[in-house]
Amino acid sequence: MLTRDGYKYYCQLQTSDYHHLCNSYLVMFYLGHTARYRPTEIQEVMSGELRPLATEAVALIPKQFMYHLVSLITGKLCVIPYSEI
């Protein structure tokens, strides 16, 4: 995530088996699917140690995902720091 103070990394910086956009999509799909179809599991997530990560993901990933897609489609760097939104 790009902020006024530079990039902030919330997850491991090692290379992944999937593209970073796939990882973002997978997190959002998991949280949405779990919230709708497994309410007891989402209660466990939201009452456990993953709560800060889940709330950050829901707040930030959709807009960051959109900026990455726009950058891919247009072939230009579309960067709007979260701190300016």
pLDDT tens for each residue of 50-85: 998 899 889 888 888 888 888 889 988 776 665 554
Tokens of 70: 């726009």
With beta carbons less than 8 A apart as the criterion, state whether 22 and 69 touch. no
Q: What is the DSSP letter of 47?
A: H
Number of structural domains, the chain? 1
Q: Domain span at residue 38?
A: 2-84
The identity of residue 22, as a single letter, is C
Q: Express each pLDDT in 8-48 by its tens digit.
A: 666 666 777 888 888 889 999 999 999 999 999 999 999 99
- Please tell me the distance from the alpha carbon of residue 38 to that of residue 33, in angstroms, as a whole number: 7
- Please tell me the distance from the alpha carbon of residue 30 to that of residue 2, in angstroms, as a whole number: 24
- What pLDDT was estimated at residue 36? 95
**Dihedral, 21, 10, 66, 83 alpha carbons, nearest 10:** -160
